[in-house]
Amino acid sequence: MSERSRTLADDPFGGRHPTSHERLAGLPWDASYHGNPAPWDIGRPQSAVVRIASAGRFSGAVLDAGCGTGENALHLASLGLSVLGVDVAETALAIAREKASARGINIEFAAVDAFKLEPLGRMFQTVLDCGLFHTFAADERPRYAASLGSVTEHNGTLYVLCFSDIDPDIGPHPITQEELRVAFNPSNGWNVAAIKPDRLQTRFHENGAPAWFATIRRI
Ligand SMILES: C[S@@+](CC[C@H](N)C(=O)[O-])C[C@H]1O[C@@H](n2cnc3c(N)ncnc32)[C@H](O)[C@@H]1O
């Protein structure tokens, strides 16, 4: 057995502190990408992302935090934006890289923990979180907001598309507007500019699930 596979067998989280979602599931995120596509892995970019991008609201270097198999990041890169997609699931990243190569799209994907973005040593003008924030429990959000803050340019924009509490039964965490405002507030260097009702498409919702689309500025 190689050193790397021995390490992964001993620690499926590869030395990373597992997230609350992983602790609850008892499995690393990577397991979601083995077998049938995960519920969120719809094989196309989210309509909200396409709409916002076509309105020209992505600019500069773009970070997609928790990019999964990359459809949103690939869409943005196909528009000519410089995009880095990061995720902790190596299998998802491998699929994303295969798509990029098959489609001839110039893009970067990297295995990076969204709680530890600062070591990237890079800054981004626009950051996308599509379906990541709502996987974090309340006690994880301050660390996540700080990590995002460490790589977002002053006056840069963070877009969060997350399940909303309009459907309180939707998981992992149906998010209230207040929870977004608590996680991203002037005391930690963020200003929520807008939170609008939207839809988050999944493999199981014909017209998408109720979502919030939040526009948040780095101050
Ligand atoms: C619900 S999926 C959404 C994936 C993708 N954004 C999409 O819309 O298809 C959440 C993604 O976040 C990734 N993820 C979870 N915790 C993470 C972390 N701490 N750092 C980076 N990625 C993480 C998971 O592996 C998964 O791919």
Q: What pLDDT shows up at residue 170?
A: 81
Q: Kindly list the distances between the CA atom of residue 216 and the CA atoms of 157, 175, 191, in Å, as whole numbers in the listed order.
A: 6, 15, 6
Between the CA of 87 and the centroid of ligand 1 the distance, in Å, is 6
Determine the distance separating the centroid of ligand 1 and the alpha carbon of 88, expressed in angstroms: 7
pTM score of the predicted model = 0.95
pLDDT at 15 (0 to 100)? 85
172-208: pLDDT as tens digits: 889 999 999 999 999 999 999 999 999 999 999 989 9
Instruction: Categorize the per-residue pLDDT at 151 as very low, low, confident or very high, splitting at 50, 70 and 90.
Output: very high
pLDDT at 8: 52
Is residue 147 in contact with ligand 1, taking CB distance under 6 Å? no
Mean pLDDT of the chain: 94
The per-residue pLDDT for range 91-139, each reduced to its tens digit, is 999 999 999 999 999 999 999 999 999 999 999 999 999 999 999 999 9
Helix (H) or strand (E) run with residue 24 in it: helix 20-25
77 CB near ligand 1 (under 6 Å):
no
Share of the chain above pLDDT 90, in %: 87
CB environment 90-126: b (16+ within 10 A), e (fewer): ebbbebbbebbeeeebebebeebbbbebeebeeebbb
- Is the pLDDT at 156 greater than 90? The verdict is yes
Asked whether residue 2 carries a pLDDT value surpassing 50, the answer given is no
66 lines ligand 1 (CB under 6 A): yes
User: How far apart are the C-alpha atoms of 177 and 171, rounded to whole Å?
Assistant: 16
Distance of CA 68 from the midpoint of ligand 1 (Å): 5
Encoding tokens for residue 141?
């959000």
